[in-house]
Structures are given as structure tokens and as C-alpha cells.
Chains A and B, each alone.
Chain A
């Protein structure tokens, strides 16, 4: 791991432990390559009182390259979230920027949940899940609907 990724992850870890954003809790970070973060569905949304877990897997040149982010254990039902946990969200792929942090990624995902009006799986869920690679980063995503 580079100096950049080690030092930055150490800083992010400390910040997540000290003052995590609302609805976000670091659940485990046994090393600097894979963390699990707990997110709670916001009040007055379809996901109120639901709890989900995001697994972050960091490449060695994080934050220049995006982390792999997937839901694990309990997969929210959402038009942009596949039943294998993969998330269709541009900032995790083509629109990744090193200015993004684990906190801000979690918040983006929470806001994606919050703005949902109809709990349903993506229409192509079964087809995608049957053929998808293990990591969502290997998928060629087509982002057409940023508003849902």
C-alpha cells in the first residue's frame, strides 16, 4: 500500500470513529483493506427503521481509484440496488473523485435510499445477477437515471 492510501485511510478511520455522520457507524475495520459500515435508513423514508451494511474494499491506490462498495447481509430493495448487493451509483465508478470519502459515499448512498419512492428491484435484476462479475467495478454501468 502506498503512503497516500495508508495515511489517508488512517485519517478516515480516526474521523469515522470520532465523529461519524448521522446514520453511519463503522462496524469493523480489522485492517486497511476492508471495512464494514452500518447505515440506518433515514426517518420518514421508505427505509426508516431498516439497517444495512456496506462493505468497502480498498484498492492499493485508494483514493486515486474508487473503493469497491457493495451491500452485504441485508440488501435494500431499491431500483438501483441489485439483489447481489451491487449498487448502480456513478460516483462509485466513472465519476469517482479522490475528494470523496467513505463518509461522503455513505451519505450519498443514504440519500439515494431516501429519495426512493417505490421499493422495487431493478427491472433487469435477475439477468444482471446471473451474469455479473464478483466486483461491481467490472460492470459497464449505464447511468441514465440519476434522479431516483
Chain B
């Protein structure tokens, strides 16, 4: 297309036009400035500058003045103009200086106002002047080394002549400013606008950071040191340091807020860059200098009073002043002291677990609340519990086990979830306890009673507890508990099968037997007892039935754990009595006898005296009295007489009087402990032999350390010594011939 067009153009018939010529000739006269150009121009400008400086109307239009500056600059009068202008500025600033210095040296508000006005006026003038001389500023002042742009020049002059570092005006202004700040800190209202302007002037003049702020901090330091010391002495001298400490903490918090507010743009008047320095000073002088004294005087009181808000303040402040370690040590100390007081007070055993649970909850909520789950505090709490709970060996473990037993027996009106939660909290205590074997022994004994006496409140709760224990104690412990549950299940099946036999149907007693495997259940002392003929026949029938099913076995009866339901016809009522087997044996005697002495009862039942005393007390001296005793005293002697309570009445049809079976006797308690200690001896034996076998020779100290490192229960050094002596006697170890403190393994 393009090509075609080009061809067309060449053949359109126009003749080419003749070329025009243009000739340029020089000026005949060179243009020349009037001789007084610079003079008249400056006069015009000077008039305008002076009008601005004296706040009068500028006669020439700003447009014209601007052009005048431009013309001067274009004709190379920039330097002259700059010099003339700076002379005008200096003259004016010197007059401001003279005016301010005519005030008597003072830090008064009026003086501050004068300074502010002088600066404000200076700024107003200089803004106008700079806009007139903008061309000069841009093309000359900004481009030339060694001279200031107009604005900076004016600031420099103001600093040189008016607010001179070290000069009376600046000193007075700063002093006035600091007086106002102190006055505000003392609770007075000050003119924040005025102060803000002065601070702004200092900032504009680059006087804030280097000259003013050091003074400000020094004054702040002085102020808070004084206030901090005063409040600290109030805390340390107060009868209740807690209240005073609380007051001080609130004061610090308030002071920090105030300083922060003072440094907030538009609201306060100091610069945000001063904020951290000021708040740190307040906290440091209030708290850090006296940290230990404050904690000693008030911390425990705040903890006792559960003063969550104050503790939160305390943690926040101590965290910021980096004294968490002090606070944590104090907290550790508090926890250990309070905790050991609970644990070691033997008069409080009845409520020990409740008290510990309450204390743990309090410590936990303090750590998670005020101490924000700070890891080092979490750890401190744990470590403290581990320490104090083991100050008293064995007893806490026993009491926790019994507490759980109590929970498992009676729902206590708790929902499943509440009970579950409480059990978890008990386990969290249990976790701290060294010597879990004591817990295990008591838990097992109590579980056995719950199962054999049908006292468990819920099967599900038992199962869930079993799961928890498996996690805590390992399956070696729980496998035995599981075997106990299994025995109970098997016994139920067995009872059903037995009842279906023809011989069982000939018995007039509905007999069912819990058959326990040996070694799984706690061991019970053998109790000899005389059983009436008719009952002995029942056990014989069952034993035959059982051995028929299980060849090679025999049954060992445990009468202490058996219980019965009796149909009892009193003259005034017929009742069903839930009684222990021993109670049954005693009561049956009264079918034949109206009155029996203790001695006679003992001869007939052959029950051991201590046990029989408990049985008789439960029947004649408890809440429910089936028998009457004479004399009516609480003690029981051989010749005391018992007879049926003919007037027996009770609001219920089924009456439970076998609570004594559930209750742990002192003998049982002792036996359980003794068994644990016996087991421990074997464990210590085995541990020592194992260590010595691999190490061959060890000093007493080294061996002690190794043994304590491996044992999971507390053992005192005296006990350990006994065990070692025993091993030497049995020739597992010998003392080194040369060094009696060295032990040698005897293979």
C-alpha cells in the first residue's frame, strides 16, 4: 500500500515549490540593566521584609516581590541578596533576644508564654519571608555549600541568639517546663497547650534530645526515687504489708499510665520517644530498688488474700523490670512453706486431701491467671509440690488413696463429670508423691472392700479410674486390679451355676461366694471362728461344687469379709438387717439365749477379743442398736451383759449395720503399711545387688547416690545402712579389706 502511494505522489503533476530563505541578524544595541537595578530591587524587598517583621501590610503584591527576587537571582545578585536578607533576619532576632532578656530571669508561666509567642511569631514571619525568597532559596541557598537554606538559617539564628544553650532564656524555659511537669505529677492542672508549644519549640530547635531530655530524666528520677522510698517504707512498716503493697502497686500502675499519657501526641506534651524512659524510671525507682523488701513485706499477704489483681500488677511490673527471678523465688518459698504446713500438721489429717486440693487449685489459678502461665512459674509450682508433699513420707499417699475410695463409694451427689474432675485433681496430687507403692497398697485394699461388700457407687467410675491408674502407675499394678474385677465377674457366674444345682436348692440359705485368686487380692489375716453346724454344711456343699468344677483346688474361707442379710423379727417390727458375718454369728446366738455375757459370746463364736469388742460395740453402742448392753458404758469387759433390744424400731425396712466392715481397723492400716515396707526392703536389696553386680566396687557415698537415684520411694539413710549390713551378713557384699568405706560385690 505504502509503496503504491509513493508511486502515485510522484506522478500527480505538481511542480516542486521554490525554497524560502531566512536570515538572522545580531542586535544593534546590547540590552543593559539600569545601574541602580540591584539597589531599587532590594529596597523594594527590604520594605516588604520589614513590613512582615512588624506585622504590617505588605504594599507590593507578593507576585511582584517574588519576580523581583527572581530577577535579582537571574542577574547574579543571589549572594548579595542572601547576605542582605540574613542581616535583616539577624537584626530582627536580636531585637527578640533583647525583648526576652528584658524580663527578669524567671521560670514563670508568663515567661514561658513570652518564649512561646516569640517562637510562634518568628515562625510566622519566616514562613512568609521564605515564600517571598523561594527562588533564592531554591536556586542559591539549597545549591551552595557552606550556607543554610533560609528556614534553617533562621532556626540557627534563633538558637544562637534567643534560646542559647546555657543562656538564661533557655535555662529559664526548661526550668519552667520541669516545674510545670512536677506540679502536674503532684496532681495540679497545668496548661498542656502551652507546654506542648514549648516542647515543640525545643524539638524544632533540636534542643529536646540533647539538652532537655537529660534534665527531664534527672528530675523524674529524683521525683520517683522520693515517692518510691516513701511508699516502700509504708509497706515495710505497715502491720499488714499486703494492703500497703497493693496501694504501691496501684500507684506504680497509675504513674506508668500518667507518664504514658504525658507522651501521647495531641493529648500529652512530651514526645513518644521519651515514654519508655519515663515509665521505666517510675517502675525502677518504685519497685526495682526495693524489690526484695517489698516482696518480703507484702507478697505472702497478697497470696493469702488471693488478691488476683494485685498479683497481676506485681507480675507485670516484675516482668518489666526483669526481676521475675526474685518474684518466682518468693512464690516458690510461699508454696513450699504453706504446703509443708498443711502436710506436716498431723491434727489436720482428716481434711489433708481437701486442703491440698484447695491449695493446689489456688496455686494453679494464680499461675495461670496473674502469672500468665509463665513456664518458670509453672515449673516452680510443680517443683514446690513435689518437695513439700514428700516432706512427710507415706501418709499423704495413704490419705489420697482413701479420699479416692470415699469418692468411689458414695457419689457425694456429684455429677459424673464433677466426680471425674475431682478424681483427676486427686491424681494430679498423687503424681507428686514419691512412694506410689503406699498408695497402691491402700487403693487395692479399699477396692477389694468395695467389690466384696458391693459398695462401689458406679462400675463406670471404677473402670475409668482403672484407666487413669494404668497411665499413672503402669499396667503391672493395674493388671492385678483387673484380675480382681475378673474374679468378681467369674464369681457371679459361679453363683448362678451354684443356685441351679439341686443340692443348693436344699439349703435354706441363699449362699453366694466370691472366689478370689490368691496373690491378686490383698492378703487377709486368718481368722478362726466357730461356725454353726448348719452354716458349715452350706460351705461344704459349695466347696464340693467348686472343687467338682475346678480339680486340684481347695477353698480358704475368709469370714471377715463375708456379710449377710438377716430377717429379724423384733416384738415391734420385722426388719432386714445388713450385717457382717461376725455380727451374724453373734446375733444368731440370741435365737437361743435371752441374755449373754461377753465371755459367753466369745466362747461360742471363738472370735478374737479385739474383733469381738468391735462387733459388740457396733451392735449395742452404734447408731442402730439391736442389742442392749449393761452396764451402758462404751467399754466392753468379759462380764458385761448383752440382750436383745425388745423395743427396736427403725424408719427403714432394710437397716445397714455392717459399716464396721468397710471401716479400716488400726491393725489393717498398720498391716498394709508394714507390707509395703517389707516389699520395699526386697526392692532395695535387689537394687543394691544389681548396682554392685555391674560396678563390682563402690564407695558408700557412690552406692548411696546410685541407690537413691533408682528408688521410686523415700528411704532414709539409716534404713539403707541396715539393708547394706544385711547384704554383708548374707555375703552378697563385703567391705574392702583396706578401706572400710568401700563395698565389694561377692559373686
Q: Mark A24-49, 1 if CB is under 8 A from B, else 0.
A: 00101110000000000000000000
Contact of B732 among A17, A28, A29, A30 (CB under 8 A): A17
A18 touches B730 (CB 8 A): yes
A29 vs B732: C-alpha distance in the bound complex, in angstroms? 13
CA distance A28 to B730 in the complex (A): 17
A90 to chain B, nearest CB (A): 31
A18 proximity list for chain B (CB < 8 A)? 730
In the complex, which of the residues B730, B731, B732, B747 has the most CB atoms of chain A within 10 Å of its own CB atom?
A: B747
Complex CA distance for A28 and B696, rounded to whole angstroms: 13
* Cα of A28 to Cα of B693 in the assembled complex, Å: 12
Taking CB atoms, residues of chain B closer than 8 Å to A30 are 747
Contacts of B747 in A (CB 8 A): 26, 28-30
- Shortest beta-carbon distance, A43 to chain B, in Å? 25
A29 to B689, CA, bound (A): 14
Contact digits for A95-106, partner B, Cβ 8 Å, 1 yes 0 no: 000000000000
- Over the window 1-38 of chain A, the binary record of Cβ atoms lying under 8 Å from chain B Cβ atoms (1 yes, 0 no) is 00000000000000001100000001011100000000
Chain A residues with Cβ under 8 A from B731's Cβ? 17
* Cβ of B555 to closest chain A Cβ, rounded Å: 29
B722-747 residues at the A interface, CB under 8 angstroms:
730-732, 747
Q: Please indicate the chain B residues that have their CB under 8 angstroms from the CB of A28 in the complex.
A: 747
What count of chain A residues pass the 8 Å CB interface test? 6
State how many angstroms separate the Cβ of B3 from the closest Cβ of chain A. Answer: 105
Q: Scoring B residues 611 to 652 as 1 if CB is less than 8 Å from chain A, else 0, what string do you get?
A: 000000000000000000000000000000000000000000
Instruction: Write out the residue numbers on chain A whose beta carbons fall within 8 Å of the beta carbon of B730.
Output: 18
A29 vs B693: C-alpha distance when bound (angstroms): 11
- Give Cα distance in the complex from A30 to B732, angstroms: 14
- How far is the CB of B587 from the nearest CB of chain A, in Å? 50
Residues of B within 8 A of A29 (CB): 747
State A139–B730 Cα separation when bound (angstroms).
Answer: 41
Give a binary string over A121-136; 1 marks a CB under 8 Å from any B CB, 0 the rest.
Answer: 0000000000000000
Give chain B nearest CB distance to A141 CB in angstroms: 32
The complex places the Cα of A30 from the Cα of B730 at a distance, in Å, of 19
Complex Cα distance, B747 from A29, in Å, reads 7
Whole-angstrom distance between the Cβ of A32 and the nearest chain B Cβ? 12
What residue in chain A is nearest B746 (Cβ atoms)? Answer: A17
CB closest residue in chain B, given A26: B747
Contact with A along B267-286 (1 / 0, CB 8 A): 00000000000000000000
Nearest Cβ distance between residue A7 and chain B, in whole angstroms? 14
Query: Residues of A contacting B732 with CB < 8 Å?
Result: 17
**Complex contacts, A17 vs chain B, CB 8 Å:** 731-732
Residues of B within 8 A of A26 (CB): 747
Q: For residue B681, give the distance in angstroms from its CB to the closest CB of chain A.
A: 16
- Measured between alpha carbons, how far is A26 from B747 in the docked complex, in Å? 8
Nearest-neighbour CB distance to chain B for A46, whole angstroms, equals: 31
Q: Among residues 75 to 118 in chain A, which have CB atoms less than 8 Å away from a CB atom of chain B?
A: none
Bound state CA distance, A17 and B747, in angstroms? 8
Q: Residue on A with the closest CB to B732?
A: A17
Q: In whole angstroms, how far apart are the Cα atoms of A18 and B746 in the complex?
A: 12
CA distance A21 to B466 in the complex (A): 47
The minimal Cβ–Cβ distance linking A13 to chain B, given in whole angstroms, is 10
Q: CA–CA, A17 to B730, complex, Å?
A: 9
What's the nearest-Cβ distance from chain A to residue B682, in Å?
Answer: 12
B678-731 at interface with A (beta carbon < 8 Å): 730-731
A91 and B727 alpha carbons, distance in the complex (Å): 35
Distance (whole angstroms) from the CB of A18 to the closest CB of chain B: 7
**A18 to B732 CA separation, bound complex (whole angstroms):** 9
**CB nearest neighbor in B for A28:** B747
Smallest CB separation, B690 vs chain A (Å): 11
User: How many Å lie between the Cα of A26 and that of B746 in the bound state?
Assistant: 11
Shortest Cβ gap from B149 to chain A (Å): 95
Nearest residue (CB) in A for B689 is A14
A51 to chain B, nearest CB (A): 18
Q: A121–B731 Cα gap in the complex (Å)?
A: 39
Rounded to whole Å, the gap between the CB of B486 and the closest CB of chain A is: 23
Q: How far is the CB of A137 from chain B (nearest CB, A)?
A: 26
Q: How far is the CA of A26 from the CA of B731 in the complex (A)?
A: 13
B473 CB to nearest chain A CB (Å): 23
Contact residues, B26-76 vs A (CB, 8 A): none
Closest CB of chain B to A123's CB: distance in Å?
39
Cα separation A64 to B218 with both chains bound (whole Å): 92
Query: Distance in Å from the Cβ of B697 to the closest Cβ of chain A?
Result: 15
Nearest-CB distance from B673 to chain A (Å)? 27
- Using CB atoms, name the residue of chain B closest to A35: B747
**Complex: how many Å from CA A28 to CA B732?**
13
CA distance A47 to B732 in the complex (A): 31
Nearest-neighbour CB distance to chain B for A12, whole angstroms, equals 14
CA distance A28 to B747 in the complex (A): 6
Binary interface profile of B, 203-247, with partner A (CB < 8 Å = 1, else 0)? Answer: 000000000000000000000000000000000000000000000
Measured between alpha carbons, how far is A18 from B730 in the docked complex, in Å? 7
**Complex formed: what's the CA distance from A64 to B732 in Å?**
29
CA gap between A29 and B731 in the complex, in Å: 15
Give the CA-CA distance A30 to B731 in the complex, in Å.
16
In angstroms, how far is the closest chain A Cβ from the Cβ of B269?
85
Among A17, A26, A29, the most chain B Cβ lie within 10 Å of the Cβ of A17
Q: How far is the CB of A79 from chain B (nearest CB, A)?
A: 34
Give the CA-CA distance A35 to B732 in the complex, in Å: 17
| Residues of chain A at the chain B interface (Cβ within 8 Å) | 17-18, 26, 28-30
7 A-B pairs whose Cβ atoms sit less than 8 Å apart in the complex = A17-B731, A17-B732, A18-B730, A26-B747, A28-B747, A29-B747, A30-B747
- Closest 7 A-B residue pairs measured CB to CB? A28-B747, A29-B747, A18-B730, A30-B747, A17-B731, A17-B732, A26-B747
